[in-house]
Amino acid sequence: MKLYGVIGAGGFGKEVMPLAAHWLPIWDGIEHDSELVFVVEDQYFTQNQRVNGYRVMSMTEFLTAPVSERRFNISIGNSAVRERIANSIPADVATPFSIHAPNHVSLDGNSIGDGAIFCSFTNVTSNAKIGRFFHGNIYSYVAHDCVIGDFVTFAPGVMCNGHVVIEDHAYIGTGAIIRDGTDKPIVIGRGAVVGMGAVVTKSVPPGVTVIGNPAKPLIRD
Ligand SMILES: CC(C)(COP(=O)(O)OP(=O)(O)OC[C@H]1O[C@@H](n2cnc3c(N)ncnc32)[C@H](O)[C@@H]1OP(=O)(O)O)[C@@H](O)C(=O)NCCC(=O)NCCS
């Protein structure tokens, strides 16, 4: 018996689960002896919970159930939580699996890290490098030669053009557009946030939030 856990049963988890369910019979055959479950951290667990028909397990139950193989993915938007959970699961207990929508398109020469999620209508064109536990929400794309770090999140409809560099834990909001950077790559720094609808024409320093067109740092009073 194999166990596949989607860690996180919130809004994004509920969007991701059907994508994982699509692949289960393809990974393990029509007669598969495997179960797909939601997993929540122990403090959020209540007995006998089901979400959209799927069993919800506590993390402890998931990590200790007597199974032949255990795989996980993390559908939690907060990238720091994603990293904490990913790093807390020993490789000999469970290994990550990636999830991509049936209509996700990935062309030549891409390198994608463990635990990625590519929702419906996402594209990675060619020669892009993407780190661990990337989230690409619906209608996002990553164009040629981009280099994207670990635990990066793309909200829906992000347009990331060629040669852009995005460092670990950056968050790119809905509908943001990032200019291509052929001669001098645009760098979105570690933990930076790009607001929804922003048009990014210059590099964004680590930890800074930018908004607007052209994108400028969000100044708080
Ligand atoms: C940029 C962002 C992170 C700022 O969030 P925040 O720190 O909570 O900021 P606030 O909502 O307090 O907004 C601060 C000011 O910036 C403005 N603002 C916020 N986001 C903006 C945006 N994307 N574009 C333009 N202005 C924006 C607000 O109107 C507010 O203006 P005011 O001070 O004149 O009233 C957030 O608004 C955002 O864009 N998040 C991405 C959301 C998203 O894509 N979600 C996808 C879920 S799947």
Tens-digit pLDDT string for the chain (221 aa): 999 999 999 999 999 999 999 988 888 887 778 999 999 999 999 999 999 999 999 999 999 999 999 999 999 999 999 999 999 999 999 999 999 999 999 999 999 999 999 999 999 999 999 999 999 999 999 999 999 999 999 999 999 999 999 999 999 999 999 999 878 899 999 999 999 999 999 999 999 999 999 999 999 88
Arch. (CATH architecture) of 98-215: 3 Solenoid (2.160)
> 136 CB less than 6 Å from ligand 1?
no
d(CA 6, ligand 1 centre) in Å: 29
What pLDDT does residue 32 have?
Answer: 77
155 lines ligand 1 (CB under 6 A): yes
Nearest 5°: the CA angle 155, 187, 183 is 120
Q: Who contacts 110 (Cβ-Cβ below 8 Å, separation ≥6)?
A: 124, 126, 127, 128, 129, 130
- Please give the structure tokens belonging to residue 70: 């255990």
Q: Which of 218, 219, 221 to mutate to test the pocket of ligand 1 (most atoms within 8 A of CB)?
A: 218
pLDDT of residue 144: 97
Given this model, what pLDDT does residue 220 score?
A: 87
Q: Which residues are catalytic?
A: 144
User: Phi first, then psi: what are they for 147, rounded to 5°?
Assistant: -125, 115
Q: Supply the pTM of this predicted model.
A: 0.97
Distance of CA 5 to the CA centre of its chain: 15
Residue type, 126: S
Bridge partners of 194, per DSSP, are 172, 210
For residue 145, how many C-alpha atoms fall within 13 Å in the half-sphere facing its CB? 12
d(CA 47, CA 57): 8
Structural domain boundaries of the chain?
2-97, 98-215
Pocket flag, ligand 1, residue 174 (CB < 6 Å): yes
Q: Which atom of ligand 1 is nearest to the CA of 173?
A: 44
CATH architecture of 2-97: 3-Layer(aba) Sandwich (3.40)
Of 129, 145, 135, residue with least CA distance to 181: 145
